[in-house]
Amino acid sequence: MSTNNTDWPTTLEVASDISSMNNVFYVFEPGELTQGVSPGNPVLRRINISAAAGDQPQVWVRLLFVGIWGYTWYVDDFVVMDQPPYDLVMESGFLSHTGNGEEYGRIPQNQLNPTMQIGGEYFNFGVNAMTNATVAMNVIGPTPFASTSASSDLASGEEGLWDASINLPGALGVGTYNATFGLAATETPLEDDVDNNTYLRNFEVNNDWYSLDGIGNHPAGYQSLTSVGTNSFEDAADGLVVFNYYEIATATTVYGLEIGITNASQEGAYFFPAVWDTLLNASGQLEAPLFENQDVTEITAAHIADGKVTVIFDSPYSIQPGGYYVGVKMYSSGGATNMRVIDDLTVPQPGLAAGIEIPQDQVYTNGNAYHIRLALNPTIGITEANELTGISIFPNPSTDGLLQFRAEQGGSFTIQVTDMLGREVMNTRTNGSSTIDLRGEAAGVYTMRVSDGKASTAQRVTLK
């Protein structure tokens, strides 16, 4: 901001200290964009420039982007207005059943603790001080509960934080819960705008699903989504892992996963669901999975139309109390068939509540709350209409590199074999019975995808 159109800074960088520049203001605070998570799209920011522009006959305003390549910010509805005399703003409201900051969208009853961490952030945007500012939280649902913060006085521009642990009123019943965080002070009757004194937050108690994301349950107008996939990063076309953190309070059985995908996903992409310990190795990589589903799941047109894939594990996984990363390792055959997983930005999550691992690299905190949900009900499942059945590949594992292919129904089949880096090592056609010769390939795990042009299936085979 300038009052003379000449004193603009010329050397601003990401690491610049602007504390002595009274005409420079942050749109995004330092560190806000370092977690690889969008602050929202769109996002509304209000910046108080009174200290530099107050009582000035004219001002000039510039917006300067300082950052890395690959990101673009579009600015719309730019307004310069008088600062209101009285204006409280409720910026956020949170409810964390873990007490560590993660805010799960769907929580099974047996994973709830007897206490819940609640609170929110607020500030005084008005010119004048506000006295006795208080936040009242009211949660309606099958088992209602409420709480109120201590009161405090807020000077102009001062921020406040309510962070408290409360006892829940016994076991919460199954259903959706709608929380309202309302901020008020002695001077609230003098505020011109009280709509921004309220913040809404929803969650669900659900014994069928455990999910970090809250897609489909957010208050109207709040939901904000993006996606991450095999075409998001360099060298991540095959073997990219996306995961959520799940805290398990009581031992439970996981029967499968539901993965939300965008319509930019393509038929033929495939993935493996897995569970990892949260302890990384010395290189910052995930250790070997504690559990990995053995069957390959291939993306079909039906999945893309439905916007999700439901995978039922070959064998249910009994998960013990502790913290785990649960996610999928995705393959795109070198970028030919990409897969993109939906990421819920609506409720800001702490770092590594969600993350990624790039092949041959390390874990990063990209992501906020992926649509990767734990299925806890054994009756949940989908029989895929486009799944090719009656296919046998044996022996598996193979000690000599020779595999026998058998199809219960005759016909012509395409067989594609890829290694664990997604590289194609064979592509051939066959009828209902043949020998697949992989004697020239190294020992390891390979994916064999079989299609008759109408349906397809994928199986993992091991060469020893």
How confident is the model over 125-178, as pLDDT tens digits? 999 999 999 999 999 999 999 999 999 999 999 999 999 999 999 999 999 999
- The beta-strand segments (E) located in 91-210 are 94-96, 106-107, 115-124, 130-140, 145-148, 152-154, 159-167, 175-184, 198-205, 209-210
Ranking 12-16, 224-228, 313-317, 371-375 by mean pLDDT, the lowest is 12-16
HSE-up (13 A, CA, CB side) for residue 149: 26
User: Angle CA(202)–CA(253)–CA(261) in degrees, nearest 5?
Assistant: 55
Going by C-alpha positions, the residue among 439, 244, 441, 221 that lies closest to residue 341 is: 244
Q: Burial level of 364, CB count in 10 A (0-12/13-18/19+)?
A: middle
* Residue 383 confidence (pLDDT): 47
The pLDDT score that the predictor gives to residue 107 is 99
Q: How much is the pLDDT for 449? A: 83
pLDDT value, residue 70? 53
Q: What are phi and psi of 26, to 5 degrees?
A: -80, 135
What is the per-residue pLDDT for 293? 92
Give the pLDDT of residue 79: 86
Position 381 confidence tier, pLDDT thresholds 50, 70, 90: low
Would you state the pLDDT for residue 84?
Answer: 93
pLDDT single digits (tens) 316-344? 999 999 999 999 999 999 999 999 999 99
- CB count in 10 Å sphere of residue 454: 8
Higher pLDDT residue, 399 or 82? 399
- What is the structure's pLDDT at 410? 80
Say which residue, 73 or 255, is predicted with more confidence: 255
Per-residue pLDDT, 77: 84
Mean pLDDT of 291-320: 93
Average pLDDT, the chain: 91
**pLDDT class of 385 with cuts at 50, 70, 90:** very low
pLDDT in tens, 5-15: 988 887 787 77
For 163-220, the pLDDT digits (tens) are 999 999 999 999 999 999 999 999 999 999 999 999 999 999 999 999 999 999 999 9
Domains recognised in the chain with CATH numbers: 88-207 (2.60.40.10), 225-375 (2.60.120), 391-463 (2.60.40.3080)
Tell me the mean pLDDT in the region 356-376.
96
Please say if the pLDDT value at position 291 is more than 80.
Answer: yes
Can you spell out the DSSP letters for 426-437? Answer: EEEEE-SEEEEE
Percentage of the chain modeled with pLDDT above 90? 68
